[in-house]
Structure formats: C-alpha cells, structure tokens
C-alpha cells in the first residue's frame, strides 16, 4: 500500500531493453535499505526490485506497463519520483 506522497527521487543510471520490456537501473541514496522483491512506486507505478548494488537498484517494467505509463519515455539522467510502500504503523496522512 502506498500513501501517494512522493518520498524522494532517483536518477536513471541505465536502461536495458529485454525484448519488449525494460530494466531500469536507478541511483538512489537508500539502496542499502532495500531488499530484493521489495515494491517501490516509480512515478506512481509499482515495480519490484530485482537487483541491488551499493548505490543502484534495478526494476523491470513489462511492455504493458511501459505502454500505460510514462516510464517508457525515461532516458538516462532523468529523475524519477519514488515512494516506498507503507509500513503497518505509518501515518496515512488522510490518504486511504
């Protein structure tokens, strides 16, 4: 569950194409806090972390997601709005 409030941004470090899908490698200051299979909203689109390094993490967007969002327009160097999923004890800030 996400609150809809942007937490921070990440920079697109690299984009790899795999058939009709894209792997986005993002540079963020909280990579050490992430776990594989964690969900993060990217410009409002929930994507799953598939790889992590010291300062980057990777998510994959399928063709359907690319067709229905702005993620397919991203280029290296672009900033992406991020929101990690809510913790059970988090304030909802009026968003349910």
* DSSP H or E stretch at residue 39: strand 39-42
The pLDDT, as a whole number, for residue 49 is 97
Contact 23, 60 (CB under 8 A): yes
As for how many domains the chain has, the answer is 1
Q: Is residue 19 part of a domain?
A: yes
Q: What is the pLDDT of the chain when averaged over all its residues?
A: 88
**How would DSSP label each residue in 54-84?**
SSEEEEEE-HHHHHHSSGGG--TT-EEEEEE
Contact 83, 4 (CB under 8 A): yes
Q: Is residue 80 part of a domain?
A: yes
In this predicted structure, the answer to whether residue 7 has a pLDDT above a threshold of 90 is: no
Query: Running DSSP on this structure, what letter comes out for residue 30?
Result: T
- Residue ranges making up the domain that contains 37: 8-84
**CATH code for the domain of 80:** 2.40.30.20
Q: Is residue 16 part of a domain?
A: yes
Q: How buried is residue 73: exposed, middle or buried, by Cβ count under 10 Å (0-12/13-18/19+)?
A: exposed
Q: Is residue 15 part of a domain?
A: yes
Q: Is residue 93 part of a domain?
A: no
In this predicted structure, the answer to whether residue 45 has a pLDDT above a threshold of 70 is: yes
């Amino acid at each position: 569950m996400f609150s809809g409030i942007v937490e921070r941004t990440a920079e697109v470090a690299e984009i790899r194409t795999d058939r009709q899908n894209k792997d986005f490698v993002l540079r963020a200051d909280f990579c050490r806090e992430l776990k594989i299979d964690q969900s993060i909203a990217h410009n409002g689109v929930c994507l799953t972390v598939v790889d992590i390094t010291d300062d980057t993490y990777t998510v994959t967007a399928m063709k359907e997601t690319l067709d229905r969002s702005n993620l397919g327009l991203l280029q290296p160097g672009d900033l992406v709005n991020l929101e990690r999923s809510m913790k059970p004890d988090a304030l909802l800030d009026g968003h349910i």
